[in-house]
């Protein structure tokens, strides 16, 4: 394969990995001149038409997953009997290599890696892609500590083929109980597999071990989770509770979305307490004080063997059921191509299937971003070939899960974040405003408390911050324009008043409020009082019309007026200002003379 060129573009340089379904090569994209990774499917899958149809559809869906924690798929195609996927080339190690080298990881590092996988899974699930094969081998960690999940699409494409041929046994350590029993996988199946990966990061090995893959699958179905606290004493009790919930045998008792798991992991990372309802298989019976748990009595070897027979028979029955299912799937002669009913209403889906002589069964309803009543998953997948009257299992959307917005007023930002995450929501925009309230606390929130909103809705917060204050400079004795300029530069606004003052020159500042030297918030209005100079004495103008000019002048000057005359004659014909007006002492009175 080395030096082979696919589609006249991708030249294989070296083999860098191999798995149950494909070989991985480092390659050169000769068009864009960049290094890529190419996953070439093993030849046996090219002869399975169901697999190829599913591979094409899922490769397209996976190519649309653009997320920082998902390996980008650039291209896909076929050349001859070789089917391939072109992916982002990454430097780093897969998580299996890291666990093998380190034995087990510090819990903080394990929580960090698992949280990043949660982000990848939630994004994929929101886009109707379920991975179905989450395991350490499919999780790459870059040198910068970024987690990248790979094999979206190829895992789903291979789901049917793996079940029919038995190669599913290669991933038995990470398979969910419902997948082990032949049921369809959904987002909660990925949550279970991630729980197994998290357990392995903490313990150094997956929880369920046996000599054969079928025996491991049986343990996934019926055996309780081994006590991690006995393996790694450094693990916080709350993290063990989170693991037990993620690994519940029943999907209904697990975290219903990857974001729910991430929310609890975030609390653990912060050292906060986590409230987790344990699955039914983890709940223990509380003994009454004084009573002892029942103990086994010594019995004959014959009786011991008799005790074991029911368990042996149960295991054989389960093994026979799984084997029969696989044999039937392998030997059955499919006749009808299953139509795609995803995103149809229940009524439309039922009618579509009946027209193809197929039956429909709703196995459950679950919250999703899709409209209530739409089909969001089906099993068998579209384009599979099945016998007439086969029952097609579907999952129906309940719409987005609604949650109540918590009351956040007065809480610190960190406490508010915790409350938001615990409620299944996410933190939105955070802005700040100056306030007399305690700095760092929530001033307002949107949406409002107790409002019912969809899960993962963003909650915007406004946080109180201390009011910034500035020292008021002194402007007393300054001119009005100087005072306004000084105060404006200091961050204040100015309002001015005027009053008479016999001591302060006209136009200069007499006083200011607030006083100089005090600390005030920015843009506080500073009031300055500006002198109008000494207050003038007001005098009433007497009437001098008709008087001789000499007498009139004498009268006005005795009252402090300045006299001006115009015209000719000896008598006053008119005056200005008129008699009776109040004018300042020293004002000029103009007399008009006449005959």
Among 202-211, 259-268, 285-294, the range scoring the smallest mean pLDDT is 285-294
> Which of 418, 444, 465 corresponds to the end of one domain?
465
**Greater model confidence, 156 or 250:** 250
Say how far apart CA 87 and CA 90 lie, in whole Å.
9
Answer whether residue 407 shows pLDDT above 60: yes
Per-residue confidence band for 318, with pLDDT thresholds at 50, 70 and 90? low
Say how far apart CA 176 and CA 196 lie, in whole Å.
9
Greatest mean pLDDT among 154-158, 164-168, 191-195, 327-331 lies in 191-195
Q: Are 47 and 89 contacting, i.e. CB atoms less than 8 angstroms apart? A: no
Say how far apart CA 443 and CA 408 lie, in whole Å.
9
pTM over 0.95: no
Same domain assignment for residues 115 and 193: yes
Answer whether residue 319 shows pLDDT above 50: yes
Range of the domain at 589: 539-594
What size, in residues, is the chain?
Answer: 595
Dihedral Cα 395, 278, 195, 115, nearest 10 deg: 90
Please write the tens of the pLDDT for every residue from 421-442. 888 889 999 999 988 889 999 9
Among 44-53, 171-180, 386-395, 466-475, the range scoring the smallest mean pLDDT is 44-53
Map 287-331 to HEC letters: CCCCCCCCCCCCCCHHHHHHHHHHHHHHHHHHHHHHHHHHHHHHH
- What is the structure's pLDDT at 330? 43
Residue 296 within any structural domain of the chain = no
- What is the structure's pLDDT at 224? 93
Percent of the chain with pLDDT over 90: 55
- What average pLDDT is seen over the chain? 85
Report in angstroms the alpha-carbon separations of 241 from 71, 178, 229, 246, 255. 30, 21, 11, 9, 12
Q: Are 1 and 38 contacting, i.e. CB atoms less than 8 angstroms apart? A: no
Say how far apart CA 538 and CA 577 lie, in whole Å.
13
Residue 286 within any structural domain of the chain = no
> Which of 431, 465, 499 corresponds to the end of one domain?
465
Answer whether residue 403 shows pLDDT above 50: yes
Same domain assignment for residues 491 and 566: no
- What is the structure's pLDDT at 401? 77
Give the strand pairing for 582-584 and 538-540: antiparallel
Same domain assignment for residues 128 and 212: yes
Answer whether residue 58 shows pLDDT above 80: no
Same domain assignment for residues 565 and 515: no
- What is the structure's pLDDT at 463? 95
Per-residue confidence band for 18, with pLDDT thresholds at 50, 70 and 90? confident
* Selected catalytic residue, list 133, 151, 381, 501: 133
Tokens of 516: 């100089």
Q: Are 70 and 64 contacting, i.e. CB atoms less than 8 angstroms apart? A: no
Same domain assignment for residues 449 and 433: yes
- What is the structure's pLDDT at 311? 47
* Burial profile 1-23: b = 16 or more Cβ within 10 angstroms, e = fewer: eeeeebeebbbbeeeeeebebbb
Same domain assignment for residues 170 and 249: yes
Report in angstroms the alpha-carbon separations of 469 from 437, 461, 494, 516, 517. 15, 24, 16, 13, 12
Q: What SS3 class is residue 50?
A: helix
**Greater model confidence, 51 or 376:** 376
Residue 308 within any structural domain of the chain = no
Dihedral Cα 552, 556, 557, 563, nearest 10 deg: -80
Residue 283 within any structural domain of the chain = no
Phi, psi of 27 (to 5 degrees): -140, 165
Same domain assignment for residues 54 and 165: yes
Say how far apart CA 107 and CA 112 lie, in whole Å.
8
Report the CATH number that the domain containing residue 362 is assigned in CATH.
3.30.10.20
Answer whether residue 581 shows pLDDT above 60: yes
- Whether the upstream peptide bond of residue 19 has omega within 30° of 0, thus cis, is no
**Greater model confidence, 167 or 152:** 152
Q: Which residues pair with 580 in a beta bridge?
A: none
Residue 3 within any structural domain of the chain = no
Residue 204 within any structural domain of the chain = yes
The question of whether 81 is a catalytic residue gets the answer no
**Greater model confidence, 91 or 162:** 91
Q: Are 107 and 125 contacting, i.e. CB atoms less than 8 angstroms apart? A: no
Q: How many domains does the chain have?
A: 5
HSE (side-chain half, CA atoms, 13 Å) at 468: 7
- What is the structure's pLDDT at 162? 38
Per-residue confidence band for 529, with pLDDT thresholds at 50, 70 and 90? very high
Same domain assignment for residues 250 and 117: yes
Q: Stretch 332-355: mean pLDDT, rounded?
A: 87
Report the CATH number that the domain containing residue 265 is assigned in CATH.
1.10.510.10
Please write the tens of the pLDDT for every residue from 220-235. 999 999 999 999 888 9
Burial class (CB in 10 A: 0-12, 13-18, 19+), 70: buried
Q: Stretch 323-332: mean pLDDT, rounded?
A: 47
Q: Stretch 93-120: mean pLDDT, rounded?
A: 93
Same domain assignment for residues 373 and 492: no
Per-residue confidence band for 320, with pLDDT thresholds at 50, 70 and 90? low
Please write the tens of the pLDDT for every residue from 108-159. 999 999 999 999 999 999 888 888 889 999 999 999 999 999 987 555 544 4
Residue 6 within any structural domain of the chain = no
Give the strand pairing for 82-88 and 34-41: antiparallel
Q: Stretch 302-307: mean pLDDT, rounded?
A: 46
**Greater model confidence, 527 or 291:** 527
Q: For residue 521, count other CB atoms closer than 10 A to its CB.
A: 13
Greatest mean pLDDT among 213-217, 315-319, 407-411 lies in 407-411
- What is the structure's pLDDT at 288? 34
Same domain assignment for residues 239 and 371: no
Same domain assignment for residues 341 and 361: yes
> Which of 397, 413, 433 corresponds to the end of one domain?
397
Same domain assignment for residues 510 and 577: no
């Amino acid at each position: 394969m080395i030096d082979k060129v696919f589609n006249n573009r991708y030249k294989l340089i070296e083999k860098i990995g191999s798995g149950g379904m494909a070989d991985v090569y480092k390659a050169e994209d000769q068009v864009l001149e960049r290094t890529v990774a190419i996953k070439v499917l093993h030849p046996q899958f090219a002869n399975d038409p169901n697999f190829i149809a599913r591979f094409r559809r899922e490769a397209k869906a996976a190519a649309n997953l653009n997320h920082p924690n998902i390996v980008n798929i650039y291209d896909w195609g076929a050349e001859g009997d070789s089917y391939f996927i072109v992916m982002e080339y990454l430097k780093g190690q897969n998580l299996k290599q890291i666990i093998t080298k380190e034995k087990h990881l510090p819990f903080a590092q394990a929580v960090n890696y698992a949280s990043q996988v949660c982000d990848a899974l939630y994004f994929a699930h929101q886009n109707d892609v379920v991975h179905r094969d989450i395991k350490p081998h499919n999780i790459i960690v870059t040198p910068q500590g970024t987690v990248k999940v790979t094999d979206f699409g190829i895992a789903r494409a291979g789901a049917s083929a793996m079940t029919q041929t038995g190669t599913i046994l290669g991933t038995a350590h990470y398979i969910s109980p419902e997948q082990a029993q032949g049921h369809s996988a959904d987002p909660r199946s990925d949550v279970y597999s991630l729980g197994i990966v998290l357990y392995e990061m903490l313990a150094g090995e997956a929880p369920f071990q046996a000599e054969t893959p079928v025996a491991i699958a049986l343990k996934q179905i019926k055996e309780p989770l081994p006590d991690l606290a006995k393996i790694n004493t450094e693990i916080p009790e709350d993290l063990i509770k989170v693991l037990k919930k993620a690994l519940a045998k029943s999907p209904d008792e697990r975290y219903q979305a990857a974001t729910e798991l991430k929310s609890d992991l975030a609390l653990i990372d912060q050292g906060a307490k986590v409230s987790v309802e344990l699955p039914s298989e983890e709940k223990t019976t509380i003994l009454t004080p004084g009573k002892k748990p029942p103990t086994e009595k010594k019995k004959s070897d014959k009786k011991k063997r008799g005790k074991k027979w029911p368990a042996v028979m149960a295991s054989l029955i389960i093994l026979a059921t799984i084997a029969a299912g696989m044999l039937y799937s392998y030997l059955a002669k499919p006749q009808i191509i299953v139509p795609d009913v995803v995103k149809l209403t229940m009524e439309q889906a039922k009618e579509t299937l009946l027209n193809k002589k197929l039956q429909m069964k709703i196995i459950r309803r679950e919250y999703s971003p899709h409209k209530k009543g739409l089909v969001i998953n089906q099993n068998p997948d579209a384009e599979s070939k099945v016998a007439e009257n086969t029952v097609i299992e579907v999952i129906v959307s309940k719409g987005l899960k609604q949650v109540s917005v918590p009351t956040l007023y007065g809480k610190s930002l960190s406490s508010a974040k915790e409350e938001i995450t615990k409620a299944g929501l996410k933190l939105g925009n955070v802005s700040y405003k100056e306030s007399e309230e305690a700095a760092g606390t929530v001033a307002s929130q949107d949406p409002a408390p107790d409002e019912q909103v969809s899960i993962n809705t963003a909650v915007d917060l406004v946080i109180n911050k201390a009011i910034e204050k500035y020292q008021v400079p002194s402007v007393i004795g300054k001119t009005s324009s100087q005072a306004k300029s000084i105060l404006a530069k200091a961050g204040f606004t100015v309002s001015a008043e005027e009053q008479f003052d016999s001591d302060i020159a006209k136009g200069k500042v007499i006083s200011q409020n607030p006083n100089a030297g005090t600390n005030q918030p920015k843009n506080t209005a500073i009031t300055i009082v500006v002198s109008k100079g000494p207050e003038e004495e007001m005098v009433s103008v007497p009437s001098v019309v008709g008087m001789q000019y000499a007498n009139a002048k004498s009268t006005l000057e005795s009252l402090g007026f300045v006299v001006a005359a115009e015209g000719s004659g000896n008598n006053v014909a008119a005056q200005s200002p008129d008699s009776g007006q109040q004018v300042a002492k020293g004002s000029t009175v103009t007399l008009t003379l006449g005959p």
